[in-house]
Structure 1
Amino acid sequence: MAKIKKDDLVQVLSGKDRGKQGKVLEVHPAKERVVVEGVNRMKRHLRAGQFGNTEGGIVESEAAIHISNVALVDPETGKTTRVGYREETVERDGRTKTVRVRYAKASGKDL
């Protein structure tokens, strides 16, 4: 199970964009990669479509980076933190259910 999810705020730990923070746009768990907003921007040269449906030119977009090169930012402290899971029992409609909840190990707050 991936500890980093879509819409999490993460910080890049290594590479050319080290220290930058951004929101996770996509998570690819099979490839162990994430796409972070404003980080690892690549230029791509596109041909124009045959029927005019796509415009050619240079398009700049974010490329995926390995999940080990990013760390989650604690919403309370603003520093990077590790992610843990704890089980909580929740009662809904008269039934009790065990739910796994992600939390920041540095502050102990739920994510």
Structure 2
Amino acid sequence: MPRITSLLKCVADMTKKSSNLPESYIKRAMERTGWKTPSAVQYRKVQLKKKKYKFSVHRPWTQEFRDENWPGTQSPKVFVEPLLDWTFFKGDRVELLTGPDKGKQGIVNYVVQERNWVIVEGLNCTYKMLGEEFNYPGMMIKDEQPLLVTTQVTLVDPSDNKPTKAEWRYTEEGEHVRVSVRTGRIIPIPKQAEETPDYKTKSTYREQEKDTKESELTRITFQPKLKTFEMDIAEKMGIKEDRIPRKTFWYPVQHQDYEYEY
């Protein structure tokens, strides 16, 4: 797991949870190799992989993300303010602080934690024409633009529908909850935050034919043994080895220009 963690440390936890995909798949999907040696015996295996990725509204496992992070492409450096505690979730009601829709409230329908972005349904939109030709006027579509959670939006307290800052606190029972700083009331996490491409809520998900059954998770299917494959087969077939092998000794050869890796 350490290799997967080191590569995916730039992918936010909310992105992984909302995808409901294994981390190994996300790592394999976002990995970009710019150059590698041919797969032959005489070549040492060396790969030149991309280390810094550009994050946008596209998820790391999509084709749009791969196109934006194509090897050799240069993108302007983006500075993102680090947030220790993330307090915005899909389904939250927020109020805009800037732009032409300043003062309006809307529902968050998309979260990009890697860039401190949220997209609010129906607000902060741009308009663009598609399919405009000499004999066809085209079609205008509305495109919702991302907003920074640090300066451009703020949460709305559900108790009085007024803007407020939020922070994480513990109740007397030890529950970790999100609380309005202005009123001290708990702001519950919306049910929409639990949605993934596979289910709306975990409780309503139905097991599919190829899913691992819950009963199989507790059953031990493999018992490790200090035996080789041949020894295991011989034991199952009732074959006993009475021969005593001779003692052998192995001496590693050292060379001044090479270093052995074990």
TM-score, structure 2 as length reference: 0.34
Which residue of the other structure, out of 110, 115, 119, is the alignment partner of 1:26?
Answer: 110
Kindly provide the amino acid, as one letter, of the partner of residue 11 in structure 1. Answer: E
> 1:77-107: CA deviations, max 9, x gaps?
22111101112465xxxxxxx5421011112
Length, aligned pairs only: 97
SS at match of 2:114: coil
SS at match of 1:85: strand
Q: Distance in 2 between matches of 1:106 and 1:89?
A: 20
Q: Is 1:110 the counterpart of 2:186 in the alignment?
A: yes
Which structure's residues are more often helix, by fraction? 2
Q: Distance in 2 between matches of 1:57 and 1:99?
A: 50
SS at match of 2:186: coil
Which residue of the other structure, out of 140, 163, 166, is the alignment partner of 1:83?
Answer: 166
Which structure's residues are more often strand, by fraction? 1
SS at match of 1:30: helix
**1:40 positional shift:** 0.8
Structure 1 equivalent of residue 154 of structure 2: 71
Gaps of 5+ in 2: 1-84, 132-137, 188-262
Superposition misfits of 4+ residues, deviation over 4 angstroms: none
TM-score, structure 1 as length reference: 0.75
% identical aligned pairs: 32
SS at match of 1:3: coil
**1:110 positional shift:** 1.1
Kindly provide the amino acid, as one letter, of the partner of residue 153 in structure 2. Answer: V
Relative contact order higher in (CA < 8 Å, ≥ 6 apart): 1
Q: Is 1:16 the counterpart of 2:16 in the alignment?
A: no
